A = this chain, B = another copy of it.
Amino acid sequence: LARIANDTMANLVELHPDRFAGFVAALPLNNPQAALQEADRAVDQLHAAGIQVYTSSNGRPVDNPNILAVFELMASKNRPVWLHPIRAMTSPDYPNESVSKYDLWWALGWPYESALSMGRLVFSGIFDRYPDLKIITHHVGGIIPMVEGRLDTGLEMLGTRVIPGQEHAVQTPLRARPIDAFRKFYADTASFGSRASIECGRSFFGLNRIVFATDMPFDPEQGPGSIRETLRAIGEMDLAQEERHRILAGTARTLLPSNP
């Protein structure tokens, strides 16, 4: 199925170069070995701009060695990985409940899942090993920018909160300070038009790591609203014209292959 999807996407890009700057490959993450092969094929043969990876697959976190291998392959090819949250209504928020109520699995759970997977990537030490690895996180980095202080001096105290006998759970190969590794992600602007979220993300990741995205068509207008409101939010930010252009296009051009 992933091969069919990627072949079709590549074909669309080839047929309509005036409409599509490229495509991002889908992977069968349920089978990491096949995912690795398909990532290789999609980039080398289909000229995919990069790949999309979910924040977990069949319950496996992204720092599972077989999933990490996909990130490492993309680092070797200098192609970005788009990280997308995954969580369903069937994950209840409290014991004795069978589903998540009031769409909280979506409204809060998705940005939380993004952050959890970013945490697992950070503590895998992957940015020590591949300092130039490019991971583009969705929804302005999930909740990461909002918890800056907890990731900074808070995680400096890693090891002081551990239950006796569970020390293995805080052992990490990470050599950098956690906060410095968290700042290595890229973050897109998909925020349903929240200027405050984008500002918070800009402050955390820095202007050069914020890239335009809208989450179209998942708004009440099925598309136009999220584009319009995201452009409005970025337009209202106190930025020089050149800085705004970097968010809207400039940084994306540095991330995407120039000759897809």
Which A residues are within 8 Å of any B CB, using their own CB?
A: 56, 59-61, 89-90, 93-97, 99-104, 106-108, 110-112, 115-116, 119-120, 122-123, 139-140, 143, 145-158, 161-163, 166, 169-170, 172, 191-197, 199-200, 203-204, 219-220, 225, 229
Contact = CB atoms under 8 A, between A and B. Distances in A.
B204 A101 contact: no
A153 B106 contact: no
A220 B169 contact: no
Contact of A102 (B95, B163, B170, B220): B170
Contacts of A196: 145, 148, 199-200, 203-204
A111 B147 contact: yes
A97 B64 CA distance: 12
Given A149-B197, A166-B89, A154 B96 contact: no
Contacts of A110: 150
Given A149-B197, A220-B157, A93 B116 contact: yes
Nearest to A90: B163
Question: Majority SS of interface residues in chain A?
Answer: helix
A210 to B, nearest CB: 13
A227 B119 CA distance: 27
Contacts of A60: 94
Contacts of A153: 192-193, 219-220, 225, 229
Contact of A197 (B157, B193, B200): B200
11 contacts: A60-B94, A101-B170, A103-B170, A104-B116, A108-B143, A112-B112, A139-B147, A152-B192, A196-B203, A199-B199, A199-B200
A170 B100 CA distance: 9
Contacts of A155: 102-103, 107
A145 to B, nearest CB: 6
Given A59-B94, A149-B192, 6 more contacts: A56-B94, A100-B169, A111-B147, A143-B143, A145-B146, A152-B192
